[in-house]
Amino acid sequence: MEKESDKKRKLIVDIQNLLNSYDGQHPTSINPNLLEFMDEETLKSIIHSLLDQKEENAKADTQWLEQFKQDL
């Protein structure tokens, strides 16, 4: 059975990976000690927020590109 601390560490790594998935950004490193006080649900909420933000950015990028398609 996986310990809660192991689950939290994996979630923290997932958050860090999401933050580092943006092109052109300096790599982000999160000190796990800063997030240790957060519960699993809070960490999952952060992940969902980051995923939502990535989705919104992708939509904005698509809309921006569509304007050039219409000009052709």
Q: Give the tokens for residue 46.
A: 């952060």
The model's pLDDT over 2-37, given as tens digits with 9 standing for 90+, comes to: 687 888 889 988 998 888 887 666 777 777 777 678
Mean pLDDT across the stretch 53-70?
Answer: 79
Per-residue confidence (pLDDT) for residue 12, from 0 to 100: 87
What's the pLDDT at 60?
A: 78
Which DSSP string do the residues of 9-46 spell out, in sequence order?
A: HHHHHHHHHHHTTSTTPPPP---HHHHTTS-HHHHHHH
Query: Cβ distance 6 to 39 under 8 Å?
Result: no
Query: Which burial class, exposed, middle or buried, applies to 2 when counting CB atoms under 10 A from its CB (0-12, 13-18, 19+)?
Result: exposed
pLDDT at 64: 77
The answer to whether the beta carbons of residues 51 and 18 sit under 8 Å apart is yes
> 37-52, pLDDT tens digit by residue?
888 999 999 999 999 9
Supply the pTM of this predicted model: 0.67
